[in-house]
Amino acid sequence: MLKLENINKSFAWKQVLFDINTIIQKGEIVWIIWPNWAWKSTSMKILTGFYKTDTWDVKIDWKSIFKNNDLKKQIWYLPEINPLYEDMWVDEFLYYTADLKWIKNKNEEIDKVISMTWLKDKKYKFINTLSKWYKQRVWLASALIWDPDILVLDEPTEWLDPNQRDEMKNLISNLGKTKTILISSHVLSELSWTVNRVIIISDWKIKLDDSIENIQLAHNKKMVIKIIFDWNIDSSLIKQKFKDIEEIKIDNNSMEIITITDIRKQLLNYMNNNFDILEFYSKKIDLSDIFFETIK
């Protein structure tokens, strides 16, 4: 269990985190989403014990990681840029990592993590010759040798092709059966089926912290309707006509409507009878929409 307890953090005059409180249980795969300007890297470094907080604590099983250094061994951080010894072979780096941890049965454990991370055909390659995806696999393999309880992954699918992204998502799903995994990613369409909980941090505070299931239930009736038109439209008339509309945004000759019920048929009839419509289409609310709605 990982507990963030009243976390505050400031640098000189600038406070960057305010009263962050949450508990993440073992076996949860949690997606933490920040806008790019929201001190994401700072938050990740606090989670993993690299930065100390101004007030209160980060705890594992109710014990402070700042007062019990051994607890930091239970956390492994996969940063966006992997800090690897690139002049080593993959196999050599993994043996070096295993030696640091005093791993017993090194050959067996290294073969196991090489198989888990699909590195068998790269084990005798220099790390500096590998692509970003293979470097991520090497760093993840080195983490799995240590067998940490908590994995913190920063943009794990960034720069990967579609096939590699599927491989990474499958690996995360399998690891989530026995570990706590925190993922930071801005690729909102990628991971929604992999994670089981979402935390959104904006304006230095947690704005949303809920399970994927609850978020989907809360928004499953909402939809976005987009209309491209050929003449001016008075949005106030549409809002008066359809009471279930939550929001209307107009940009030049494009209008986007967020509604809590399915009004497509009635709206299309009304628009066709009163305006010149060029395009009309809709989609269900997804995590991208919820993210922008939350940070707005």
276: domain CATH number is 3.30.70.980
**What's the pLDDT band for 35 if we cut at 50, 70, 90?**
low
Residue 267 has pLDDT above 70, yes or no: yes
Highest mean pLDDT: which range of 12-16, 22-26, 292-296: 22-26
Residue 257 belongs to domain spanning: 221-295
Q: Are residues 8 and 114 in the same domain?
A: yes
Q: Are residues 136 and 234 in the same domain?
A: no
Q: According to DSSP H, which parts of 152-263 are helical?
A: 162-175, 212-219, 235-241
Of 217, 248, 281, the position where a domain reaches its end is 217
Per the structure, how many domains does the chain have? Answer: 2
Of 217, 232, 264, the position where a domain reaches its end is 217
Residue 87 has pLDDT above 80, yes or no: yes
Q: Who wins on pLDDT, 64 or 209?
A: 209
Q: Are residues 188 and 253 in the same domain?
A: no
Q: Are residues 32 and 64 in the same domain?
A: yes
Sheet holding 75-78, edge to edge: 75-78, 150-154, 180-184, 29-33, 197-202, 205-211
Of 172, 187, 217, the position where a domain reaches its end is 217
Q: Are residues 45 and 58 in the same domain?
A: yes
Q: Are residues 189 and 269 in the same domain?
A: no
Q: What is the pLDDT of residues 119-174, one digit of tens each?
A: 989 999 999 999 888 888 898 898 888 888 888 888 887 777 788 888 888 888 88
Q: Are residues 17 and 139 in the same domain?
A: yes
Q: Are residues 159 and 260 in the same domain?
A: no
- The CATH number covering residue 12 comes to 3.40.50.300
Highest mean pLDDT: which range of 32-41, 45-54, 200-209: 200-209
For residue 55, the SS3 value is strand
Q: What is the pLDDT of residues 211-228, one digit of tens each?
A: 888 887 777 778 888 888
Q: Are residues 108 and 249 in the same domain?
A: no
Q: Are residues 181 and 34 in the same domain?
A: yes
Q: Are residues 233 and 101 in the same domain?
A: no
How, if at all, do strands 197-202 and 29-33 pair? Answer: parallel
- The dihedral over CA atoms of 139, 141, 146, 152, expressed in degrees to the nearest 10, equals 50
CA distance 199 to 212: 10
Q: Are residues 145 and 281 in the same domain?
A: no
